[in-house]
């Protein structure tokens, strides 16, 4: 089969790396991809949201299956349009992807189908939002309703911080239309973890859990980012917790979407937090998580393309996992998630680790930076400590880096980031 992956970041590189192992694939393409992926796939210069061009290419290249990585094309209906063109695609429709595209929709779905999550209310009026904050008290969480590249969440420890976040989103339009409505919700204390699943309608096949770290700096300090590192599996997440989360969260959500006429096919991601009352949902995503994908897929024994085919054909993919650990650390541009320089030459990565490229571009001097999160360095080991040791041995020290930084405590903290 010829296969097309849509996207350009580390998540898509990780998907391509896993697909490149498949004996079922003749040719593997990524659109638009990045130069760091060229070892595993042929990059096609078409943007993720240029759906008509992508459909034309899929027909010309005799693409058997297309897999979508990022969220933006999902919310503009790429799956619908591929299906209308008679092309097979592994991705949720625009209607189903709204579970990520609108936090208000997701919260209303959870309320209607009795899925455990934080108490909340939604607002377009800053005065009403602030009145709700005063009623509920701090700490409290303010979220932009729409897509904000993983950055539209503020954990406000004081009422003043909550007011500022509301003004930033609803008045100053920090996140443009994504912040034209905000969700104000109860702060949940506990350890976070991510649970992704292959889904087709009401059929749910969970992967192993992962934990990522959203804060920019060590000890989960600093601003939220798209993710500074991750590891899988998560030692403190038991099989019982996974079974509960699968039954009470993932399966209820997918059944609810079917009932609502929004049947979901693709990857459903649940960002969860372990509270005293059990796992609760922080957020849903309609695609592979980033950077969780970069540490989960390397532990999957199955042929990824065969899994996708099985899901689309209505078969049980019979997922199998290595009994090992995997850890990845993101190398980010200095200044991220704020302003940062581009075009900085990449440092050399040594050791036995693998490298997943995200924000990179070619130059006369080799690869240079072209984004906030530049690459992820990952390793597998017989334990989390061993995997982490291999990764950090592969990275130059922060003091030797110019223009980049990374966290040195991924996998070493007892608790996940609290959002």
pLDDT per residue over 322-331, tens digit each? 999 999 999 9
Q: What is the pLDDT of residue 230?
A: 97
Domain boundaries, the chain: 2-93, 119-186, 192-313, 325-405
Q: Is the pLDDT of residue 419 over 50?
A: no
Mean predicted confidence (pLDDT) in 360-373:
93
Mean predicted confidence (pLDDT) in 144-169:
86
Q: Is the pLDDT of residue 417 over 80?
A: no
Dist. CA 369–CA 250, nearest whole Å:
37
Dist. CA 136–CA 140, nearest whole Å:
8
Mean predicted confidence (pLDDT) in 115-134:
93
Q: What is the pLDDT of residue 364?
A: 86
Q: How confident is the model at residue 149 (pLDDT cuts 50, 70, 90)?
A: low
Q: How confident is the model at residue 172 (pLDDT cuts 50, 70, 90)?
A: confident
Q: What is the pLDDT of residue 151?
A: 65
Q: Is the pLDDT of residue 179 over 80?
A: no
Q: What is the pLDDT of residue 92?
A: 98
DSSP line for 351-378: TT-EEEE-SEEEETTEEEE-SSEEEEEE
pTM of the model: 0.92
Q: What is the pLDDT of residue 351?
A: 85
Determine the topology of domain 119-186 in CATH.
Dna Ligase; domain 1 (3.30.1490)
Among 117-131, 170-184, 237-251, which is the least confidently predicted range? Answer: 170-184
Mean predicted confidence (pLDDT) in 75-96:
98
Q: What is the pLDDT of residue 342?
A: 95
What rounded mean pLDDT belongs to the chain? 94
Instruction: Please name every residue paired with 4 in a beta bridge, in sequence order, or none if there are none.
Output: 29, 66
Give the residue among 45, 7, 9 at the shortest CA–CA distance from 374. 9
Q: Is the pLDDT of residue 414 over 90?
A: no
Contact 221, 215 (CB under 8 A): yes
Q: How confident is the model at residue 1 (pLDDT cuts 50, 70, 90)?
A: very high
CATH superfamily of 192-313: ATP-grasp fold, B domain (3.30.470.20)
Asked if domains 119-186 and 325-405 share a fold, the reply is no
Q: How confident is the model at residue 150 (pLDDT cuts 50, 70, 90)?
A: low
- For residues 109 and 189, the model is more confident at 109
Examine residue 32 and say whether the peptide bond preceding it is cis (omega within 30 degrees of 0): yes
pLDDT per residue over 302-321, tens digit each? 999 999 999 999 999 999 99
pLDDT per residue over 41-69, tens digit each? 999 999 999 999 999 999 999 999 999 99
Dist. CA 68–CA 267, nearest whole Å:
10
Q: What is the pLDDT of residue 413?
A: 60
Q: What is the pLDDT of residue 27?
A: 98
Mean predicted confidence (pLDDT) in 344-356:
92
Yes or no: domain 2-93 corresponds to CATH 3.40.50.20: yes
Longest C-alpha distance within the chain, in Å? 60
3-state secondary structure of 128: helix
* Sign of the dihedral through C-alpha 94, 96, 97, 100: positive
Percent with pLDDT over 70 in the chain:
97
Q: Is the pLDDT of residue 385 over 70?
A: yes
Q: Is the pLDDT of residue 232 over 60?
A: yes
CATH architecture observed for domain 325-405: Alpha-Beta Complex (3.90)
Mean predicted confidence (pLDDT) in 288-309:
98
Q: What is the pLDDT of residue 416?
A: 40
Q: Is the pLDDT of residue 259 over 90?
A: yes
Q: Is the pLDDT of residue 418 over 80?
A: no
- For residues 414 and 235, the model is more confident at 235
């Amino acid at each position: 089969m010829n296969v097309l992956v849509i996207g350009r970041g580390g998540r898509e590189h990780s998907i391509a790396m896993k697909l490149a192992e498949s004996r079922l694939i003749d040719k593997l393409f990524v659109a638009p991809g990045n130069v760091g992926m060229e070892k595993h796939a042929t990059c096609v210069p078409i943007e993720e949201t240029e759906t008509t061009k992508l459909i034309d290419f899929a027909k010309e290249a005799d693409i058997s299956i297309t897999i979508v990585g990022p969220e933006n094309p999902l919310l503009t209906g790429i799956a619908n349009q591929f299906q209308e063109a008679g092309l097979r695609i592994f991705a949720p429709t625009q209607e189903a992807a709204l579970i990520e595209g609108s936090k208000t929709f997701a919260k209303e779905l959870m309320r209607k189908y009795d899925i455990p999550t934080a108490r909340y209310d939604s607002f377009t009026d800053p005065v009403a939002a602030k009145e709700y904050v005063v009623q509920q008290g701090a700490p409290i969480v303010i979220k932009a309703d729409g897509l904000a590249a993983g950055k539209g969440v503020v954990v406000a420890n004081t009422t003043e911080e909550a007011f500022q976040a509301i003004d930033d989103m609803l008045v100053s339009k920090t996140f443009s239309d994504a912040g034209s409505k905000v969700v104000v919700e109860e702060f949940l204390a506990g350890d976070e973890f991510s649970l992704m699943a292959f889904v087709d309608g009401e059929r749910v096949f969970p992967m192993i859990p992962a934990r990522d770290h959203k804060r920019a700096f060590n000890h989960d300090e600093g601003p939220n980012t798209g993710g500074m590192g991750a590891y899988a599996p998560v030692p403190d997440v038991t099989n019982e917790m996974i079974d509960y989360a699968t039954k009470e969260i993932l399966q209820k959500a997918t059944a609810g979407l079917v009932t609502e006429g929004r049947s979901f096919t693709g990857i459903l991601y649940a960002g969860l937090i372990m509270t005293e009352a059990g796992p609760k949902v922080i957020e849903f995503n309609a695609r592979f998580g980033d950077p969780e994908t970069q540490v989960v897929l390397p532990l999957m024994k199955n042929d990824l393309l065969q899994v996708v085919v099985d899901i689309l054909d209505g078969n049980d993919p019979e997922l199998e996992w290595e009994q090992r650990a995997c850890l990845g650390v993101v190398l980010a541009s200095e200044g991220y998630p704020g302003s940062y320089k581009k075009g900085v030459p990449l440092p050399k990565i040594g050791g036995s680790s693998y490298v997943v490229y995200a924000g990179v571009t070619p130059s006369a001097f080799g690869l240079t930076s072209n984004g906030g999160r530049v690459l992820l360095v990952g390793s597998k080991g017989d334990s989390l400590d061993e995997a982490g040791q291999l990764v950090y041995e592969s990275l130059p020290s922060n003091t030797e880096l110019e223009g980049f930084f990374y966290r040195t405590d991924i996998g070493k903290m007892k608790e996940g980031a609290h959002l």
